[in-house]
Amino acid sequence: MKQYYRIQPDLEKYMRFQLDNFDFLDKLGDKFELTDLGKPIQHAWQPVKGKYYPGVAARVVPDISTWEADMLILSHKAYDLLKEELQAYGELLPVEVESDTCYLLNVLARLPENVIDFEGSEYEYYEDEPVGFRVLKFNEKYIPEDQLLFCVQSDFAYNIYCDDRFKNMIDEKDLGGLYFNTTLIDPYFISQ
């Protein structure tokens, strides 16, 4: 049986990545909206500036991390090591980070909602509206065997999930920056 994970940035050890919103809007504003994430956008993409921000104790630039919830940001090192495997799951979009080129992976592998085991999962509600999952279970029979990375259409934030093969690949290539969450849910809902 495969183990599945929700991919999150490891912000305790590594710096947080953020695109320059002004550069983003200036270059892609009329051509792109956040609702376009998860759809092909390479045709309109122009390299946008990004930056890593230190946390309280985190001062290390990650090899691989996330931007928003459904994109990975890869250093040039991570890009060189992973591009062959990742191209099947999305678009690799160049980003300017200081004097280096990094790459966003726009994950296009979106699985339908039947991937979620709604009987075994529980929503978190705010004022009678579902805002996320308190418990999330997958119907593994609906996840293709070769699906290394994927997002699920109906999980609110369109998080990136992976199986143990992707986690092992990251570990074997000694790439730092990700936390692999076995609960599959946002850590905010764990303590509720």
Buried b (16+ CB within 10 A) or exposed e, 134-160: bebebeeeebeeebebbbbeebeebbb
Decide if 124 is inside a domain: no
Do residues 149 and 107 lie in contact, with contact meaning Cβ atoms separated by under 8 Å? yes
Q: What is the pTM of this model?
A: 0.88
118 in a structural domain = no
Instruction: List all residues 6 or more positions away from 28 whose beta carbon is below 8 Å from its beta carbon.
Output: 44, 45, 46, 48
Range of the domain at 164: 4-111+144-190
> Can you read off the two tokens belonging to residue 79?
């890009």
The answer as to whether 82 is a domain residue is yes
In a domain, 119, yes or no: no
Look at residue 50 and tell me if it is in a domain: yes
- Whether 121 is in a domain gets the answer no
pLDDT digits (tens, 9 = 90+) for 44-65: 888 899 999 998 888 899 999 9
Digit-coded pLDDT (tens) for 77-109? 999 999 999 999 999 999 999 889 999 999 998
Give phi and psi for 40, each to the nearest 5: -60, 130
Burial of 104 (0-12, 13-18, 19+ CB in 10 A): buried
**Average pLDDT for 158-183:** 94
Is residue 99 in some structural domain? Answer: yes
Query: What is the spatial distance between Cα 185 and Cα 164, in angstroms, rounded to a whole number?
Result: 17
The tally of domains found in the chain comes to: 1
Which own/partner contact pairs does 98-101 have at CB distance under 8 Å and 24+ positions apart?
98/51, 100/75, 100/76, 101/47, 101/76
Q: Is there a domain that residue 136 lies in?
A: no
